[in-house]
């Protein structure tokens, strides 16, 4: 795989006002991050989400993405990732085409098979086995692509049955907005390798909750396997793919080593394994820059998303490496 230039994104879940959200989008753009992502979760505080370990997402993805696009000029907007079970497929296709049109071609279209079992139960959706959810994801990807080309739709899949109309509006990005597919299982990553433009490496969240099991599924050894699965399935496409990962734990500067050791112990890992964990970054700005270059050389991962709480401390890394 050829060396691709770094780019960086912020993922944010919450804001207390329209002004705060606009300011965050503008700050993300001004600091050199290429994109602002949300996730796609619905639950507020309560008994349903408490056992999962998942943070509360206050903002609905679609309107927040639209406002971020309106508040900025070049910032790409995305959802990392839309759960394809939370909307009718036809509605998701139309909404995302509209987002691309109104943002003047700045949409990154993240799609995932869903994983947060308690959320499914709380909002009254059946949590089907992984095989069924991934099959449905493949059908939705097919729809997104067909919707973008403006031809009459005639889809008769197991989950997506759409006939008798052509998709509008036409997205600015053709043949369709770049699709990011995220996940941690072999099957979903190989679907991404075949169909997406961006492969997003995540934990294997088969347990339906966040915790040590999921975090251990994202170690360097496990990520190496995942990249191999993607390369195998992508074939000649591999060199054209963007490989993205979320750095969920970021500690820059004083106390980084102690933080690394404490978190490693909590997750049942050695400190050295945590230091090299592709979903974590610990150290000085220099050390983190060196580590990101090393990971790009080893895994090909050049697109890194960090949480909004790290927007300022991580900015010197962005300024040094973005586009390099």
Please report the DSSP string for 134-198 in residue order: HHHHHHHHHHHHHHHTTSEEEEE-SS-EEEEEE--SPPSSSSSPPEEEEESSHHHHHHHHHH-SE
Q: Note whether 76 and 172 are within 8 A (CB).
A: no
- Tell me what the pLDDT averaged over the chain comes to: 94
Question: Which residue segments constitute the domains of the chain, with CATH numbers given?
Answer: 7-321 (3.20.20.30)
Q: What percentage of the chain carries pLDDT values higher than 90? A: 89
Distance, CA of 133 to chain centre: 17
Strands 303-307 and 242-247: parallel
Sorted by sequence, the CB contacts under 8 Å of residue 144 that are 6+ apart come out as 92, 93, 96, 109, 111, 176, 179
Q: From CA 172, how far away is CA 280, in angstroms rounded?
A: 35
What's the whole-model pTM score?
0.94
- Residue-level pLDDT at 211: 66
Using one digit for the tens of pLDDT, what is the confidence trace for 58-91?
A: 999 999 999 999 999 999 999 999 999 999 999 9
Summarize pLDDT for 194-226 with one digit per residue, the tens.
999 999 999 876 665 566 677 778 899 999 999
- In this prediction, residue 203 carries a pLDDT of 81
DSSP code string of 74-113: S-EEEETTEETTSS-HHHHHHHHHHHHHHTTS-EEEEEE-
* CB distance 103 to 64 below 8 Å: no
Cα–Cα distance measured from residue 234 to residue 196, given in angstroms and rounded to the nearest whole number? 10
Please give the pLDDT value at position 248.
93
Please name the residues in contact with 74: beta carbons below 8 A apart, sequence gap of 6 or more. 29, 106
User: How far apart are the C-alpha atoms of 161 and 141, rounded to whole Å?
Assistant: 13
* Of 307, 305, 240, the residue nearest 34 (C-alpha): 305
> What proportion of the chain, given as a percentage, has pLDDT over 70?
97
CB 82, CB 40: distance < 8 Å: yes
* Cα separation, 78 vs 62, whole angstroms: 9
Q: What are phi and psi of 318, to 5 degrees?
A: -60, -45
- Distance between the two ends of the chain, CA-based, in angstroms? 16
């Amino acid at each position: 795989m050829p060396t691709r230039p770094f780019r960086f994104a912020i993922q944010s879940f919450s804001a207390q006002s329209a002004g705060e959200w606009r300011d965050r989008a503008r700050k993300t753009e001004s600091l050199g991050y290429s994109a602002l992502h949300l996730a796609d979760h619905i639950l507020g505080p309560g008994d349903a989400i408490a056992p999962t370990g998942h943070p509360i997402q206050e903002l609905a993805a679609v309107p927040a993405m639209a406002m971020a696009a309106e508040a900025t000029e070049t910032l790409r907007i995305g959802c990392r990732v839309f759960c394809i079970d939370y909307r009718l497929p036809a509605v998701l296709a139309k909404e995302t085409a509209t987002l691309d049109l109104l943002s003047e071609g700045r949409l990154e279209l993240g799609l995932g098979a869903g994983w947060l079992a308690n959320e499914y139960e709380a909002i009254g959706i059946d949590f089907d086995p992984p095989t069924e959810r991934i099959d449905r994801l493949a059908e939705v990807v097919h729809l997104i692509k067909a919707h973008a080309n403006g031809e009459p739709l005639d889809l008769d899949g197991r989950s997506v049955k759409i006939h008798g109309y052509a998709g509008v509006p036409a997205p600015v990005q053709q043949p369709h907005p770049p699709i990011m597919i995220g996940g941690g299982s072999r099957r979903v990553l190989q679907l991404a390798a075949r169909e997406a433009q961006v492969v997003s490496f995540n934990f294997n969240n088969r347990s339906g909750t966040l915790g040590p099991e999921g975090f251990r599924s994202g170690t360097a050894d496990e990520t190496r396997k995942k990249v191999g699965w993607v390369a195998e399935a992508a074939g000649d496409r591999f060199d054209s793919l963007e490989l993205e990962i979320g750095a969920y734990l970021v500690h820059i500067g004083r106390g980084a080593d102690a933080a690394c050791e404490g978190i490693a112990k909590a997750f049942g890992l050695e400190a050295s394994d945590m230091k090299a964990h592709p979903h974590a970054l610990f150290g000085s700005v220099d050390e983190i820059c060196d580590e990101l270059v090393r990971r790009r050389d080893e895994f090909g991962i050049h697109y890194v998303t960090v949480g909004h709480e790290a927007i300022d401390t991580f900015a010197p890394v962005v300024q040094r490496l973005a586009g390099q």
